[in-house]
Structure 1
Amino acid sequence: MKNLTTNTIALAITLALSASAMAEGMSKGDFNAGKDKISAEYKTAKAHCNSLSGNANDVCMAEAKGKEKVAKADLEAAYKPTQKSRYEARVAKAEADYGVAKEKCDDLAGNPKDVCVKEAKAAETAAKADAKAQMKTAEANATANEKTADARGDASKKTSDARKDASADKSDAEYAVAKEKCDTYSGSAKDSCLDKAKVTYQK
């Protein structure tokens, strides 16, 4: 039991030191080494993609480029840990996911492909809206912590506004998907589908 407690304390100290080191960012040398590693991994992934053909190659390249973009953004956020760099890392992830999803839609045709692309865009919009809301909320809270009760009230309002903006962006994207799905119908059935979408998304 004593050994277990000692190990637990040692682990806690190690984790605390690691967290402290991460909070302070990383050295320029580690940053450059990280960039070299990302570049090497991208070259390896690209070489693998070259063995594929058609849309499989396109999807593979989109995944390779996406991983490189996300890795670079994450590295930058670790090197310069700010709200902006963390936001940009989330945006990079959303854009990378969209790039891959869009390429995968090329395996489809007609309306299913259109719906696939709209759904991919809606997912990207939602992820970006969440990232923006997180950044605004964090910035507002940081300001509030430094200032008075008035600032805290202002922070609360900014947080609320950011969440409303995020919800509006998501709703618009989901409405676009719903409208695209209505294109599978015609005449009164399509009109009914569009009316239902308008009511659902309050358009």
Structure 2
Amino acid sequence: MKTSHAFLLVGAALAWANSARAQVAPDPKTVYEQAKGTAEVNYKAAKARCDQIAGNPHDLCMAEARVARVRVEEEAEAAYKNTLSAYTQARMRIASANFDRDKVRCAAITGNDRDVCLEQAKATLIAAQADAKADRKSIEARQDAHEDKLAAQYRVAIEKCDAYAGAVKEQCVNAAKTAFRK
């Protein structure tokens, strides 16, 4: 009877260890490479579907497939690099891919409607690029403000330490440096 309980406990421990191992965060490079691979596979499948169509609908289908691939690849690369400039660059490239798609969409239209369509596509591109730049500046400003606040709080903590002397003051200063990573 005792051996069956031991086997159950060992089995439960192994199951728990495997579930804990499965919850470990995946390697960012692996996730990035998988996303690129998935984007390429999806693009090839979409291209095969598009090859069954002729004329402008084929061009539009291909443009849609390129936009989908660019979006997945750029978002994956930005997440892999995890920097503000990478995210901004990804948004710019996605906006450019959307603009290329919109130009293809406008090619099916003639006359003034085509001119209006192209101007709308250009306006959408400019708006997306402006939003990406504005978001970057906003995030940078918030980061600068946060750093300024921490510096001010650090100066206050150091000033409070001036009330002490000797080893107590030294401990206070070291605690402030540790707290504010100085």
With structure 1 as the length reference, what TM-score do the two structures score? 0.58
C-alpha displacement at 1:92, in angstroms? 2.4
* Matched positions, count: 129
1:52 and 2:78 correspond: no
Deviation at 1:148, TM superposition (A): 5.4
Match of 1:125 in 2: 126
In 2: Cα distance, 1:63 partner to 1:85 partner: 23
Q: Which amino acid aligns with 2:134?
A: A
Q: Does the residue aligned with 2:53 lie in a helix, a strand or coil?
A: coil
Which letter maps to 1:68? R
Alpha-carbon spacing, 1:47–1:53, altered in 2? closer, same or farther (3 Å): same
Change over 3 Å in CA distance of 1:134–1:42 after alignment to 2: same
Answering whether residue 39 of structure 2 is matched by residue 34 of structure 1, we say: no
Greater C-alpha radius of gyration: 2
Q: For residues 144 and 123 of structure 1, what CA distance do their matches in structure 2 show?
A: 31
Does the CA-based 8 Å contact 1:73-1:92 persist in structure 2? yes
For 2:115, the equivalent position in structure 1 comes to 114
Distance 1:84 1:50 in 2: 36
1:10 is matched with none
Contact 1:101 1:120 in 2 (8 A): yes
Q: Which consecutive segments of 4 or more residues in structure 1 shift more than 6 A?
A: none
* Gap runs ≥5 in structure 2: 1-22, 151-182
Counterparts of 1:118 and 1:67 in 2: how far apart (Å)?
A: 23
**What runs of 5+ residues in structure 1 fail to find an aligned partner?**
1-17, 150-203
- Per-residue deviation, 1:79: 1.0
* Equivalent residue, structure 1, for 2:90: 89
What is the CA–CA distance in structure 2 between the aligned matches of 1:131 and 1:55, rounded to whole Å? 31
- The one-letter code sitting in structure 1 at the alignment partner of 2:53 is L
In 1, the alpha carbon distance for the partners of 2:28 and 2:124 equals 35
Residue 144 of structure 1, CA deviation = 2.1
Which residue of structure 2 lines up, in the alignment, with residue 163 of structure 1? none
Paired AA for residue 55 in structure 2? G
**Normalised TM-score (structure 2):** 0.65
Distance 2:29 2:127 in 1: 34
1:1-203 alignment runs, 5 A limit: 26-147=27-148
The SS at the match of 1:147 is: helix
Identical aligned pairs, as a percentage?
39
Instruction: Determine if contact 1:26/1:78 at 8 Å carries over to the other structure.
Output: no
Say what the alpha-carbon RMSD is for the aligned residues: 2.3
